[in-house]
C-alpha cells in the first residue's frame, strides 16, 4: 500500500461499515453511520494539522495550551458527500464548507461538473474532500484539479470505501494528496461500482 493511503482497523468503524453494507439498512440508519465513520476518519486525518501555543486562564490559574493554526475547509462532493459534513463540523466547528457538484456519466464513467461556487478567499486553507466512494477515481481527481486551480495545495481525501483502481488513479494524478478510507475493497465491476461495496451511497442516504 502507498505510504499516503490510510485505512482504519478501529472496531467502531468496522461495526458501522458492516451496517452500511447491509442491503436492509434504512436511510436514517445509513446516514447516521456515514456520520460516525466520517468523524472517526477525520480524527485520524487531522492528527498532523498545525497548532500554536496560547495562554489560557483556568479556574485554578493560567497555563499554556494549543489552538488550531490552520484554516480547515470541508469540500463535500455533491450529493453523496453531504452526509459526511455534519459529524466533522461537530469535531471542527470553525471549518468552512465549500461544495463541488460532480456526477458520473454512467456510460463513460467520467465525471461531469454541474456546480461549483469558487470561494472569494482561499489563502492558507487545508481542504478535506469528502466523498464516500473512491471508485474509478475520476471524481476525486477532478475535485483536486478544481481545488488546486483555486491556488490550494494542501488537500486530503476522506471517504468510506475505496477500490484499488480509484486509489491508483488518484495517486497517479495527485501523489501528494493523503487518502483516508474505512476500507479498501476488492475491485470495480463492469459498471464502475465497488465490489463488495455498499451500492450507491447517495441513493441509500437519501432514499432515492
> Active-site positions?
104, 108, 200, 203
d(CA 49, CA 177): 14
27: its cell numbers: 436511510
Main-chain phi, psi angles of 14, to 5 degrees: -60, -40
d(CA 136, CA 88): 25
Packing angle of the helix pair 138-149, 164-173 (nearest 10 deg): 20
Residue with cell 480524527: 43
14: its cell numbers: 468496522
d(CA 199, CA 171): 24
Q: How many residues does the chain have?
A: 208
Residue with cell 486551480: 149
Q: What is the dihedral of CA 117, 73, 172, 10, to 10 degrees?
A: -140
Task: Please enumerate in sequence order all residues whose Cβ is within 8 A of that of 155, keeping only pairs 6 or more positions apart, or say none.
Answer: 126, 127, 128, 129, 144, 147, 148, 174, 176, 177
Amino acid at each position: 500500500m502507498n505510504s499516503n493511503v490510510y485505512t482504519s482497523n478501529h472496531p467502531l468503524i468496522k461495526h458501522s461499515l458492516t451496517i452500511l453494507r447491509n442491503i436492509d439498512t434504512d436511510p436514517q440508519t445509513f446516514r447516521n453511520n456515514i456520520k460516525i465513520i466520517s468523524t472517526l476518519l477525520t480524527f485520524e486525518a487531522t492528527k498532523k494539522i498545525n497548532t500554536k501555543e496560547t495562554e489560557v486562564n483556568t479556574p485554578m490559574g493560567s497555563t499554556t495550551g494549543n489552538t488550531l493554526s490552520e484554516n480547515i475547509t470541508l469540500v463535500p462532493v455533491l450529493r453523496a458527500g453531504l452526509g459526511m459534513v455534519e459529524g466533522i463540523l461537530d469535531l471542527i466547528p470553525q471549518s468552512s464548507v465549500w461544495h463541488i457538484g460532480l456526477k458520473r456519466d454512467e456510460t463513460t464513467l467520467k465525471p461531469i461538473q454541474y456546480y461549483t461556487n469558487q470561494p472569494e478567499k482561499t489563502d492558507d486553507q487545508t481542504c478535506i474532500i469528502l466523498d464516500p466512494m473512491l471508485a474509478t477515481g475520476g471524481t476525486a481527481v477532478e475535485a483536486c484539479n478544481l481545488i488546486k486551480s483555486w491556488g490550494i495545495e494542501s488537500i486530503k481525501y476522506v471517504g468510506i470505501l475505496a477500490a484499488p483502481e480509484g486509489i491508483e488513479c488518484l495517486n497517479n494524478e495527485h501523489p501528494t494528496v493523503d487518502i483516508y478510507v474505512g476500507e479498501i475493497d476488492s475491485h470495480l465491476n463492469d459498471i464502475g461500482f465497488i465490489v463488495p461495496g455498499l451500492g450507491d451511497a447517495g441513493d441509500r442516504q437519501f432514499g432515492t
